């Protein structure tokens, strides 16, 4: 990790309110499908690798860029790097991927991509994040896994 | 109506199963995966059971396992950057050689038909050819022809010709130059628009099928110098042409493909959990072949299918491996 942050003064965004839980959701007899808000809640508090801020506060993840099709077992997430040449982009994408891997049932096919037009190496980053073999190999690297776990650890 | 009937689900692996390989005699199966072990399965009566579990050969995921043509050796390729060679000389399978040299994850390993050559490939972009002499393995060539991660290596069914598939969207063919015993790339198969995950030769060795992250399968045909169709062959080397593209069938990445040497059927393993079987149309033009999807096994596994392989002896018997931790044995019936 570099000591000097690339994006020294990131723009901050307002956090979303807590999710309102409906009576229907509390009813154990009704099966609740995953929706974009629920996926957003799983990833909004991931820490940025450089700043003491969450991906939500930096607007890297947004509920509107999450598409969920529960019946088709599909979750598609677009994320927006804070700057177009951000060197942390793969690490952020991996953190989102790992968090969902741990939180969602295995039936889901998760795709994590850079929002179109927001990063200079968008195609290369997307290809790498979509290659499950390279993701699996990366997660066997204990140093990298340590960094990812730090991003995923809840802050006090 | 063709069917793919599930014969048995083999459980025991912890986590993703990356690969399965039939013993050349078709009565034993090896599988490997994320749990760093190789399981040997054998038939007892009509049931497949665990015969042996090989551990301590690798320190990271085992990506591929393959039997030697004589059936006495197993080679395993691992993310730990090594290839292990296992033999049964002591009565049980032991790892008696570890091949080192690749800079990072080894993705695939393949024996030539004679068993005298071994090929490996890695994320370090290289393809290595090893010479086998009485349990001694020597690197004969380290070929740097691909520009990215190499996913698969497969030898020609009869000759010492090697094919590889890569993250750089191409497949390549390699041959030894007899004059200077140097291995070089003699053809590049370019047409896929994303990672080529796997490839398979047909029984003649005149054709190759490739599968890709671009959700297509392509059939390539070799045109030798002096071919009757008049296709130009510069440098007096064979030219490989894409003669058929199967598109619109797969909805996610196609991770593996196997061309049955006895029935001619093509099986694919896909990220949409489906195993598909394709059959070549009987009366089609060999230079513009057509294939029909004869079976699509929905939810063959509950997660991505990583590998499919036809039994080399029993026609119609197929093994598959999946992220869902299971290996399955199938039987294809017309």
Query: What's the pLDDT score for residue B219?
Result: 98
Each residue's pLDDT tens digit, B318-331: 999 999 999 999 99
CA–CA separation, B84 and B227 (whole Å): 42
pLDDT at A16 over 90: no
Given this model, what pLDDT does residue A4 score?
54
Q: Which of A106, A130, A136 sits opposite B303 (nearest CB)?
A: A106
Contact yes or no for A134 and B151 at CB 8 A? no
CB contact under 8 A, B194 and A127: yes
Q: Which residues contact B232 (CB under 8 A, 6 or more apart)?
A: B239
Beta-sheet pairing, A74-79 with A109-114: parallel
- Smallest CA–CA distance, residue A143 to chain B, in Å, is 15
Which residue pairs from B86-93 have beta carbons closer than 8 angstroms and sit at least 24 positions apart in sequence? B86/B38, B86/B54, B86/B57, B87/B135, B92/B52, B93/B40, B93/B52, B93/B54
Q: Which of B61, B195, B303 sits opposite A140 (nearest CB)?
A: B61
The pLDDT tens digits along chain B (334 residues) read 799 999 999 999 999 999 999 999 999 999 999 999 999 999 999 999 999 999 999 999 999 999 999 999 999 999 999 999 999 988 899 999 999 999 999 999 999 999 999 999 999 999 999 999 988 999 999 999 999 999 999 999 999 999 999 999 999 999 999 888 899 999 999 999 999 999 999 999 999 999 999 999 999 999 999 999 889 998 888 999 999 999 999 999 999 999 999 999 999 999 999 999 999 999 999 999 999 999 999 999 999 999 999 999 999 999 999 999 999 999 999 9
Q: If contacts are CB pairs under 8 Å, which of residues 124-153 in chain A contact chain B?
A: 127, 130-134, 136-137, 140
pLDDT of residue A1: 42
Residues of A in contact with B16 (CB under 8 A): 136
CB–CB contacts below 8 A, A to B: 37
- Hey, which residues 268-327 in chain B have their CB within 8 Å of chain A? 271-272, 302-304, 323-324
Task: Tell me how far apart the alpha carbons of residues B161 and B222 are, in angstroms, rounded to a whole number.
Answer: 12
pLDDT one-digit tens code per residue, A63-109: 999 999 999 999 999 999 999 998 999 999 999 999 999 999 999 99
Q: Is B78 on the interface with A (CB under 8 A)?
A: no
B283 membership: H or E segment, kind and range: none
CB contact under 8 A, B323 and A133: no
What Cα–Cα distance (Å) separates residue A30 from each residue in A70, B40, B144, B295? 15, 44, 57, 36
pLDDT score at B9: 98
- pLDDT of amino acid A18: 77
Q: What is the DSSP letter of B194?
A: S
For residue B65, is it left (φ>0), alpha (ψ between -120 and 50) or beta? beta
H-state helical runs in chain A:
23-26, 36-43, 89-103, 122-130, 132-139, 142-152
Would you tell me how many other CB atoms lie within 10 Å of the CB of residue B27? 15
| Phi and psi based region of residue A73 (left: phi greater than 0; alpha: psi -120 to 50; beta: remaining) | left
Left, alpha or beta for A150 (phi > 0: left; psi -120 to 50: alpha)? Answer: alpha
Neighboring chain A residues of B107 at a CB cutoff of 8 Å: 133
Please write the tens of the pLDDT for every residue from A38-57: 999 999 999 999 889 999 99
- Cβ separation A107–B149 shorter than 8 A: no
State in Å, rounded, how far the first CA of chain B is from the last one. Answer: 6
């Amino acid at each position: 990790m570099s000591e000097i942050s690339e994006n020294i003064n990131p723009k901050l965004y307002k956090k979303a309110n807590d999710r309102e839980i409906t009576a229907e959701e509390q009813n154990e007899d009704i099966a609740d499908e995953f929706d974009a808000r629920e996926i957003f809640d799983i990833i909004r508090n991931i820490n940025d690798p450089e700043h003491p801020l969450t991906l939500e506060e930096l607007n890297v993840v947004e509920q509107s860029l999450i598409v969920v099709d529960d019946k088709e077992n599909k979750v598609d997430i677009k994320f927006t790097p804070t700057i177009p040449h951000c060197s942390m982009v793969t690490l952020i994408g991996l953190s989102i991927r790992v968090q969902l891997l741990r939180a969602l049932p295995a039936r889901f096919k998760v795709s994590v991509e850079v929002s179109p037009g927001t990063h200079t190496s968008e195609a290369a980053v997307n290809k790498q994040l979509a290659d499950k073999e390279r993701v699996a190999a990366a997660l066997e690297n204990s140093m990298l896994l340590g960094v990812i776990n730090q991003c995923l650890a809840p802050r006090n | 109506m063709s069917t793919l009937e599930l014969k048995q689900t083999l459980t025991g692996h912890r986590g993703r199963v990356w690969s399965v390989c039939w013993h050349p005699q078709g009565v034993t199966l090896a599988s490997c995966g994320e749990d760093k072990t190789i399981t040997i399965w054998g038939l007892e009566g009509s049931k497949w059971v665990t015969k042996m579990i090989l551990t301590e050969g690798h320190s990271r995921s085992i990506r591929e396992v393959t039997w030697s043509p004589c059936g006495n050796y197993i080679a395993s390729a691992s993310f730990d950057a090594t290839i292990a060679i296992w033999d049964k000389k002591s009565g049980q399978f032991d790892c008696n050689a570890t091949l080192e040299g690749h800079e990072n994850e080894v993705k695939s390993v393949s024996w030539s038909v004679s068993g005298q050559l071994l090929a490996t490939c890695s994320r370090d972009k290289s393809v290595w050819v090893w010479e086998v002499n009485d349990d001694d393995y020597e690197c004969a060539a380290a070929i740097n022809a691909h520009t990215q991660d190499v996913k698969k290596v497969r030898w020609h069914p009869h000759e010492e010709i090697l094919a590889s598939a890569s993250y750089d969207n191409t497949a390549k063919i390699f041959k030894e130059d007899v004059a200077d015993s140097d291995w070089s790339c003699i053809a590049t198969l370019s047409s896929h628009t994303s990672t080529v995950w796997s490839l398979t030769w047909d029984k003649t060795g005149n054709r190759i099928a490739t599968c890709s992250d671009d959700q297509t399968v392509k059939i390539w045909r070799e045109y030798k110098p002096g071919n009757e169709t008049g296709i130009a062959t510069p440098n007096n080397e064979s030219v490989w042409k894409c003669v058929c593209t199967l598109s619109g069938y797969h909805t996610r990445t196609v991770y593996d493909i196997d061309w049955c040497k006895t029935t001619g059927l093509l099986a694919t393993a896909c990220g949409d959990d489906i195993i598909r079987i394709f059959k070549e149309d009987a009366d089609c033009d060999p230079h513009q072949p057509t294939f029909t999807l004869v079976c699509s096994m929905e939810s063959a596994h509950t997660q991505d299918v990583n590998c499919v392989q036809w039994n080399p002896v029993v026609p119609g018997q197929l093994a598959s491996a999946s992220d869902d931790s299971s290996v399955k044995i199938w039987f294809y019936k017309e």
